[in-house]
Amino acid sequence: MDYQFTIIVPIYNEEDNILRLKNALSHYITIASKKTKVLFINDGSTDKSLDLITAICKDKTFFSFISFDKNYGLSAAIKAGFDIVDTALVGYMDSDLQTSPNDFNTLLKHIEDYDLVTGMRDNRQDSVTKKWSSKAANKFRRLFTNDGIDDTGCPLKVIKTAYAKNIPMFKGLHRFLPAMVLLQNGRIKQIPIAHFSRLAGQSKFGFWNRSIGPFIDCFVFLWIKKRYINYTITKQKL
């Protein structure tokens, strides 16, 4: 089957959400504007997540998975997905279903004219603390990246795979994907999408991950930005 779009779904101890996730993604496959498949990344889960992923991938040809030997973190899971995908377009979403896969169609409407399209959580359904720390981190991050993105942590993005595979990933770089596409002279856009409360499981990101960690990561990004190699070929004979 000639798939056009792969959705990466990192999973870490989300056993209470996986069946709901299966149903939501199975439904999206039937309405997707591009021929779509799903790649689950089991990031060293210690609950029943791997057993559940294995079971649902047996039932659906458009579901596949890989499993890490231990927990490496979200950036590592996304990088593994980027390394593996063979479709022209790649996206990712969180497994908590606080964003809907149906909104990928909203992002895909714009991907022909842009190289990365990211969601922006409209009427965010999180605690005041989460919203405050994310807002502060985004404001600080924009001072370094100047990418114009208001909600870089939104876990719903579509990227042209050629750009995704050229991103030099490090821990925490999932927060800088739009900026890394800009470093490749790519074009980016943000689109408002729906956001929902978490119905099951627990968030894996605390105050450190949402605020202090991103501040430190900004300096790592700045180091990469100053040393990033980019070039344009004007003439060739190969």
Q: Decide if 236 is inside a domain.
A: no
The number of domains in the chain is 1
Please give the helix or strand (H or E) that residue 231 lies within, else none: none
Does 232 reside within a domain? no
CA distance 34 to 213: 35
- 1 with 36: CB under 8 angstroms? no
234 located within any domain: no
Residue 12: the pLDDT is 96
Each residue of 168-205: b (16+ CB within 10 Å) or e? ebbebbbbbbbbbbbbeebebbbbebbbeeeeebeebe
| Token pair belonging to 173 | 């770089």
d(CA 205, CA 163): 27
Domain that holds residue 76: 5-227
pLDDT of residue 137: 67
Is residue 23 a part of any domain in this protein?
A: yes
Closest CA to 59 of 25, 108, 98, 10: 25
The predicted pLDDT at position 175 comes to: 84
Looking at residue 199, its pLDDT comes to: 58
DSSP line for 155-202: SEEEEEHHHHTT----TTGGGGHHHHHHHTT--EEEEEEE-----SS-
List the CATH number of the domain containing 167: 3.90.550.10
pTM of the entire structure?
Answer: 0.85
Q: Which residues pair with 64 in a beta bridge?
A: 39
Identity at 101, one-letter amino acid code: P
pLDDT tens track, the chain, 238 positions: 699 999 999 999 999 999 999 999 999 999 999 999 999 999 999 999 999 999 999 988 999 999 999 999 999 999 999 999 999 999 999 998 989 999 999 999 999 999 999 998 876 655 566 666 666 666 666 767 778 788 877 889 999 999 999 998 788 888 889 999 999 999 999 999 988 766 565 665 555 555 566 777 877 888 888 888 787 889 998 8
Q: Is residue 132 part of a domain?
A: yes
Residue 151 lies in a domain: yes
- Asked, for residue 235, whether it belongs to a domain, the answer is no
Does residue 137 fall inside a structural domain? yes
The per-residue pLDDT for 210 is 56
Query: Coil, helix or strand for 150?
Result: coil
